[in-house]
Every structure is written in C-alpha cells, then in structure tokens.
Amino acid sequence: KAGVTQTPRYLIKTRGQQVTLSCSPISGHRSVSWYQQTPGQGLQFLFEYFSETQRNKGNFPGRFSGRQFSNSRSEMNVSTLELGDSALYLCASRRAPNTEAFFGQGTRLTVV
Amino acid sequence: TQLLEQSPQFLSIQEGENLTVYCNSSSVFSSLQWYRQEPGEGPVLLVTVVTGGEVKKLKRLTFQFGDARKDSSLHITAAQPGDTGLYLCAGEGYQKVTFGTGTKLQVIP
C-alpha cells in the first residue's frame, strides 16, 4: 500500500513568486491536511480538506490557499512568497477527519 | 484555543538512560497520538491512546493517557541512538487536531 506522496521534495523560489505543492494521500483516504513546520513555530495547521471541501482553516493569510480533487489528491498554493514562508510543508492523509494521520516526507521550500 | 505544551523542549542523554516526555493541556481530547520525526522527514505515527488512564507499550516505549484525557506521557527505557528525533504529541478535539510544541531528543552513544 503506497504511502503519502508529496512533490516536489525540494523547491527554491524568489520573493514575490508563487508556488504550488502537491500531495497524493493513501489510497482510500479522503481527508488531507496541510501543515507548515519551522524551527521557531513548530507544526502549524494550514487547512484540511475532506471530499473536495475545505473543512477547517488555520490562522494563515489569504496568500495560502488549497484545493482537493475528486481523486482526493490535494494541492496548496502560496502566492507572493515572502522570506518567512521558507519552511517544511507537510501533508497528512487520514481515512476521515479526526482519525489517525499519516504524513508525507514533506516539501522543503526555500524563499530567497 | 486548544494548546498542547510538551516538556522538556530539549533533552540530551547518554545511551542506556531512561527518560520521560510530557504532553499537557487544559483541554480534553477524544484521543491523543504520539509521533517521531527525523530531520528532513515527515512525522511517523507511534501510537494512539483513546481511553483515560490507558497505557500502551511499544518495545521500550511506554505511553500513558491521563485519567482526565488532558495529558499524556511517553517513557523510554534504556534509550538508544536510534531513538534520536523530534517527538510530537497531537490531541484530537472537536473537529480539530492540535500538535504539541515538540521535544527534541538526542541520545549520545
């Protein structure tokens, strides 16, 4: 059974650009959550999608957005990148909301 | 707002020593998970505890959920270098999962 796949693994972008990250959950899992992890702030919740609908949203600016497709794959987009957006972005796959989470390896985003 | 405080924040010990990591909150959780994360990788689920007072063992790791389901502890016996990593607790509440602040463990050979 394949795990959670996040692409790309590493990304370097310039301030002001936009970026799209992808997450393919475990087969049969319909909930995908996104987190930002930095050394100073720890793991911060961005948003959760379930059955193509955003179910919950964390306290991030509108530059951070996401969506989920009918096959449960999810993308998150960050527009007008800032240096402070440099972080490890993690995707968590769940069979349904409030069930055990299985994480991908993450996408390491560096903004220069 | 649900908060999960972990202590200690950092821990550096010698191989063979025992240690305990704590995860505390003023909120009640329906369940709580513990994860271990290695540098550059995503967190890996270790255990889920559901019932107040529940104790689960995973080889040298012992997890306990508080009677009131507000806190949890992780005890490692005879720590090994392979136990090195970031330990995270995560509490599931009403429509929301809250992650703890993390405990960075280093086990020195």
Handedness of CA B57, B2, A73, A84 (dihedral sign): negative
Q: CA-nearest residue of chain B to A87?
A: B40
The pLDDT value given to residue B2: 59
The pLDDT value given to residue B1: 53
Q: CA-nearest residue of chain B to A43?
A: B99
Confidence of residue A46 (pLDDT cuts 50, 70, 90): very high
Q: CA-nearest residue of chain B to A101?
A: B45
Quick: pLDDT tens for B48-89. 999 999 999 999 999 999 999 999 999 999 999 999 999 999
Flag whether residue B20 sits within 8 Å of chain A, measured between CB atoms: no
Residue A1 confidence (pLDDT) above 80 = no
Strands (E), B38-101: 44-49, 55-58, 61-65, 71-76, 85-93, 96-99
Flag whether residue B44 sits within 8 Å of chain A, measured between CB atoms: yes
Partners of A45 on chain B (C-beta within 8 Å) are 96-99
The pLDDT value given to residue B51: 93
- Compare CB distances from B101 to A4, A42, A102 and report the shortest one's residue: A42
Distances (CA, A) of B45 to A45, A52, A95, B90: 17, 25, 14, 10
Query: What is the percent of chain A where pLDDT is above 90?
Result: 82
Partners of B30 on chain A (C-beta within 8 Å) are 98
In contact, A94 and A100? CB cutoff 8 Å:
yes
CA B16 to chain centre: 19
The two counts, helices (H) then strands (E), for chain B are 0, 11
B42 with A103: Cβ contact below 8 A: yes
Residue B45 confidence (pLDDT) above 70 = yes
The pLDDT value given to residue B83: 96
Range with the poorest average pLDDT among A103-112, B34-43, B90-99: B90-99
Confidence of residue A54 (pLDDT cuts 50, 70, 90): very high
Partners of A108 on chain B (C-beta within 8 Å) are 40
A105 with B48: Cβ contact below 8 A: no
The pLDDT value given to residue B40: 83
**3 state DSSP class of A84:** helix
